[in-house]
Amino acid sequence: MNPLQQIAELFSTILSAQFGSLSLDELMSGEYQVGFASLDFFSLEPFAQYLHHVPQERCAIYPSVDEMDTTADGIIVVAMKEGQLRASKWLMGDDVSYDTAFYQVGDWACRQQIYRNGDDVKPIVIEFLKKDAEGYPLTFITAREYGVKVSDYEWSAAGVRIIERSARMPDVGVAPELTPYMESLVEFSVDGEVEVIRNLTQNSIVYDRSYEALSLQEMLEQARSALHDKILADLQAAPVANTVGCFLFEYSDQGPLPPTIALIQPHEITDSGDDYPLLWLNAPDCELFTEDDFDGIRLHGEHDALFDRINAQIEELDYEQAEQIMVDFYLTLCRQLETSLRASRLLTVTADFFVTAREFSACNEATFLQQLWPQERWQPLAAALEQFEAAQAKWQEEMIRSIGRESGHAGMDSSQ
């Protein structure tokens, strides 16, 4: 049987034989050996822990809930039988869980996950893995609601070449039309450990074992140096003719590295009148934006493994701690880069040119400018921001009063 030929049907079918006994009472009935986990690290995908930078310290099954490292993201009940993983149930709340069944379909190991909310059930993912007689992965298939991906593994003295193809999820009864997606190469050390994973399609490094020995602070220092040097090198290789008033890093709290970049020109730095005074400080609105037509600076590639590992570790931290770490990171980078850009003259800049950053969902641009600008420049902006906030508060208060008056009149009319 080749599951790829019936992948749409297999994905959408919730097998009662596999999921009918996945209630918490059944799992805890004594039929299974039960453990507990805080992270769903049970994918069948070969090398998943390296490809997705799964924190190894979280990949553990605990004998009791009391011994778990954290329960902040819920509790995963893990059921094993005869040394084999049979099921898991990720408890998210009352009658809400992600249920996963592990079973065999011919030569294929299968992992199927559903979302359960009371009586409502939705398929999430189905995975199939086929190995050769010696246990080496040959083919991995994964399917979600919108797509299918097939990975074939070619083993050689150089390592493992992973050839990936993908397709949209087909209709039931139709085989997917796969097209080339990506090729990677897994290289091993002399002792058989995964040393490096290269993305051959994008000419980047996905995983590098050398980073395992570094602390988060050490990796952040390397990342800051890498970004600084890459930006200067790219500007030297592809000079920008436009005059620039602001160099902006814009990042996300969901994977803060690498950032996007906007070179903001003087005519884009505008007085917004009664609107938010920093409305212009928004990378996607700028003509020279790295996610749009401006490709003179490219931060993806050589250091992707470093960035991805940092992102994975940042994601494990509390929000406030992660936020402060990244604000400090970008404050230092902004200061260093502004000094270098002024000294190197790689950009034609205005007299009041500055480098700054913002996390786009937090809209924390004022936090950066307060730290980066001299007081004589910051104070007028601080006053404008305070005036804007006061006007907003007054508008909201008047709106609430207006709504209250309208609802009062409506109540009087209905009583007459």
Looking at residues 189-196, what average pLDDT do you find? 95
Residue 245 in any domain: the answer is yes
Higher pLDDT, 406 or 46: 46
**77 within domain boundaries:** yes
Query: What pLDDT does residue 231 have?
Result: 98
**Distance from C-alpha of 267 to C-alpha of 11, rounded to nearest angstrom:** 53
Q: How confident is the model over 46-59, as a mean pLDDT?
A: 93
- pLDDT value of position 21: 65
391 within domain boundaries: no
Q: What is the DSSP letter of 240?
A: -
Question: Are residues 352 and 242 part of one domain?
Answer: yes
Q: pLDDT value at position 39? A: 94
Residues 239, 194 share a domain: no
The answer on 223 and 188 residing in a single domain is no
Average confidence (pLDDT) over 277-302: 91
> Quick one: pLDDT band at residue 48, thresholds 50, 70, 90?
very high
DSSP track, 350-388: EEEEEEEEEETTTT-HHHHHHHHS-HHHHHHHHHHHHHH
Which pLDDT tens digit goes with each residue over 319-328?
999 999 999 9
Query: pLDDT above 90 covers what percent of the chain?
Result: 76
Average pLDDT over residues 287-303: 90
Q: Is residue 415 part of a domain?
A: no
* Res. 242: pLDDT tops 90: yes
Q: Write down the pLDDT at residue 413.
A: 59
Q: Please check whether residues 170 and 248 belong to one and the same domain.
A: no
Confidence at 393, pLDDT banded by 50, 70, 90: confident
Three-class secondary structure of residue 99 per DSSP: strand
Q: What is the mean pLDDT of residues 344-354?
A: 96
* Placement of tokens 């709340």 in the chain: 93
SS3 98: strand
Which residue among 143, 178, 211 closes a domain?
A: 211
One domain for residues 310 and 195: no
pLDDT tens digits for 114-138?
A: 999 988 999 999 999 999 999 999 9
The verdict on residue 413 lying in a domain is no
Q: Where is the domain boundary, 339, 356, 373? A: 373
pLDDT at 416 over 80: no
- 159 and 173 Cβ atoms separated by less than 8 Å: no
Let me know whether 111 and 227 are in one domain. no
Reported confidence tier of residue 272, pLDDT bands at 50, 70, 90 = low
Number of C-beta neighbours around residue 339 at 10 A = 11
In terms of domains, do 177 and 237 share one? Answer: no
pLDDT at 279 over 70: yes
Listed in sequence order, the residues at least 6 apart from 79 whose beta carbon sits closer than 8 Å to its beta carbon are: 27, 32, 33, 34, 85, 86, 87, 88, 89
410 has pLDDT over 70: no
Q: Which residues contact 150 (CB under 8 A, 6 or more apart)?
A: 4, 139, 140, 141, 164, 165, 166, 178
Whether 125 is covered by a domain: the verdict is: yes
* Range 354-369 average pLDDT: 96
Specify the residue for token string 């993912």.
125
Q: What's the total number of domains in the chain? A: 2
Residues 218 and 203 occupy one common structural domain: no
pTM comes to 0.84
- Domain of 260 in residue numbering reads as 214-373
Are 258 and 185 in a shared domain?
A: no
The letter for the amino acid at 316 is E
Query: At 196, which CATH number?
Result: 2.40.160
284 and 195 inside one domain: no
Enumerate residues 6+ apart whose C-beta is below 8 A from 251. 257, 259, 260, 326, 330, 357, 358, 359, 360
Percent of the chain whose pLDDT exceeds 70: 95
Q: What number is the average pLDDT over the span 366-378? A: 97
Are 202 and 225 found together in one domain?
no
Average pLDDT, the chain: 92
pLDDT at residue 346 greater than cutoff 70: yes
pLDDT at 73: 87
The amino acid occupying position 261 is I
Contact 269, 245 (CB under 8 A): yes
| Residue 7 · residue 170 · CB < 8 Å | yes
Question: What is the per-residue pLDDT for 163?
Answer: 99
- pLDDT for position 18: 74
Same domain, yes or no: 180 and 264: no
Q: Which of 46-50, 90-94, 232-236, 243-247 has the lowest mean pLDDT?
A: 90-94
Assign 13 a pLDDT band (cuts: 50, 70, 90).
confident
Predicted local confidence at residue 37, as pLDDT: 96
Is pLDDT at 409 greater than 70 in this prediction? Answer: no
Q: Is the pLDDT of residue 411 over 80?
A: no
189-204 average pLDDT score: 95
